[in-house]
Amino acid sequence: MKLVLSIIALVFSQMSFAASDIEGPAPDFTLKSKAGSNMRLGELRGQVVLINFWASWCGPCRQEMPLLDDMHSKYSKLGFTVLGVNVDKDSAKADKILKDIPVTFPVLYDASGDVSKQYNVDAMPTTVIVDRDGNMRFHHRGYKPGYEDLYAQHVKQLIRE
Top-tier CATH class for 20-160: alpha beta
Count other Cβ atoms within 10 Å, centred on residue 104: 11
In this structure, the dihedral spanned by the alpha carbons of residues 68, 74, 80 and 82, taken in order and rounded to 10 degrees, is: 20
* Mean predicted confidence (pLDDT) in 39-61: 97
Query: How far is 2 from 9, CA to CA, in rounded Å?
Result: 11
pLDDT at 87: 98
Per-residue pLDDT tens digits for 119-139:
999 999 999 999 999 999 999
Judged against a pLDDT cut of 80, whether residue 5 lies above it is answered with no
Closest CA to 47 of 81, 85, 84: 81
Query: How far is 29 from 153, CA to CA, in rounded Å?
Result: 26
First CA to last CA across the chain, in angstroms?
37
Per-residue pLDDT tens digits for 82-114:
999 999 999 999 999 999 999 999 999 999 999
Task: Give the CA distances from residue 60 to residues 54, 56, 70, in Å, rounded to whole numbers and listed in that order.
Answer: 9, 10, 16
pTM of the model: 0.86
Query: How far is 2 from 24, CA to CA, in rounded Å?
Result: 40
pLDDT at 2: 43
Q: Where do the domains of the chain lie?
A: 20-160
